[in-house]
Amino acid sequence: MNFSLWCDYLEKDFINGDFASMIKEGKISGATTNPAIFKTAFESAAYSEQIASLKGKKEAKKIYELLAMNDVKNAAFKLLTNYANGEDGFVSIEVRPELFDDGVGSLDEAKHIFNAIKMPNVMMKIPASDQGYYAMRELVKRGINVNATLVFSLEQAKECLKAF
């Protein structure tokens, strides 16, 4: 039986510790995250100095982006061998939830994040909504990996397949 187990959590110390060990031991072959996961992670002591140094110099959205993209890039690097061997090795990062009904905004943010991270094994996590399907279609056309999220019905799954 083939299956793939992905970790649904990223945090700086975890990426360099248990996450790396779980990849090496073959326990996980990918990771996914979202703004809620990062909000919890960023409350840990692992980020306190970095956040303190950025406060007042950058707006909250930029601080979030810098920290999240750095973590995703580090996780993607740790999974690169899996990716190269065809054993998943992807890390997905979700566009901001407020872009749920903004296809152009989702597309623009996804392209920005993907291009900033510059790793072939990063997936852009896009909500399954009417506007999300548009963003998915456009990302796939550009060769950007997509992970559909918030899929709760057969109809949504079919629409995701059409978008892909």
Report the DSSP beta bridge partners of residue 126: 148
Report the DSSP beta bridge partners of residue 55: 58
Report residue 25: phi and psi, to 5°.
-85, 0
- Band (pLDDT 50/70/90 cuts) for residue 3 is confident
- Token pair, residue 104, equals 């152009």
**Among 125, 141, 158, 162, the one annotated catalytic:** 125
pLDDT in tens, 40-54: 999 989 999 999 998
DSSP result, the chain:
-----EE----HHHIIIIIHHHHHTTS-SEEE--HHHHHHHHTSGGGHHHHHHHBTTB-HHHHHHHHHHHHHHHHHHHTHHHHHTTS--EEEEEPPGGGTT-HHHHHHHHHHHHHHH--TTEEEEEESSHHHHHHHHHHHHTT-EEEEE---SHHHHHHHHHH-
* Res. 104: pLDDT tops 80: yes
The pTM of the whole model exceeds 0.85? yes
pLDDT in tens, 10-30: 999 999 999 999 999 999 999
Distance of CA 16 to the CA centre of its chain: 17
Concerning whether 125 is annotated as a catalytic residue, the answer is yes
Contact status, residue 110 vs residue 124, Cβ threshold 8 Å: yes
